[in-house]
Amino acid sequence: MRKKKPVCEHEWVDYKCTKCGQFATDDDFSLISDNTWELGSLSEIKEKLSPELFTLHIGINITGNFQCDGWHNIFMYQGRLLPHTEAVLDELGLQEIKNSFSKIITRFPKFASDEFTCDNCDELKFLYGAYWELPEEELRKYSEEERTKIADYNRLIEELDNISDKYFGYDTPYDGWESVIVYIKKLHNTD
Ligand SMILES: [Zn+2]
């Protein structure tokens, strides 16, 4: 079958096409995000972008990664996003998700303490794996403090996943991208 010619070879500036005036949608976000990641480390990206564009970059990565794998995998593999997550959720008007996220950070402050390193990966893997994979008798070998930590982490992640589903789930407006799309339109002063 012959491919349809695209309406426009979009050139995105601030998530708006300079040729046809169309706003970027979730079909375009991963490409724009990949290009942004090429600007350098996250702190370099932060320096190069306006605060609004930085918010969008983080917001898009949180939404997309959540949709793929949920919050535990963001903690495991996208740790560099975490120090910025509370501010970005606030900025995007996602207070309910932010409040739930903050509970994890209050309980486990080091998971969002600075730029991405995988120092926390072993512990995260343990907390998650112990809960889902260890048989009951293995789990009993750990101290009560360790078992409480395991239970707390998994309970808080599950709560955060459930709340996030209400905003980022595929069955929500704009397939989970409403907060990002509203923010882009606000950036360009259109409703
Ligand atoms: Zn265009």
Global pTM value: 0.92
Specify the pLDDT at position 52.
98
Q: pLDDT tens for residues 124-166? A: 999 998 888 889 898 889 999 999 999 999 999 999 999 999 9
Q: In the predicted model, what is the mean pLDDT of residues 27-31?
A: 95
Using pLDDT thresholds of 50, 70 and 90, give the confidence band for residue 6.
Answer: low
Ligand 1 centre from 16 Cα, in Å?
A: 8
Residues 6 or more apart whose CB falls under 8 angstroms from that of 166 comprise 96, 172
Distance of CA 91 to the CA centre of its chain: 14
The rounded Å distance from CA 6 to ligand 1 centre is 9
pLDDT of residue 115: 56
> Is residue 56 a contact partner of residue 39, using CB atoms and an 8 Å limit?
no
CA of 60 to the centre of ligand 1 (A): 20
Ligand 1 centroid to 180 CA: how many Å? 19
- State the Rg of the chain over Cα: 19
9 CA to middle of ligand 1, Å? 6
How far away, in angstroms, is 43 Cα from ligand 1 center? Answer: 30
How many angstroms separate the alpha carbon of residue 48 from the centre of ligand 1? 24
When pLDDT is averaged across residues 159-185 and rounded to a whole number, the result is: 97
Identify the H or E element spanning 162: helix 144-168
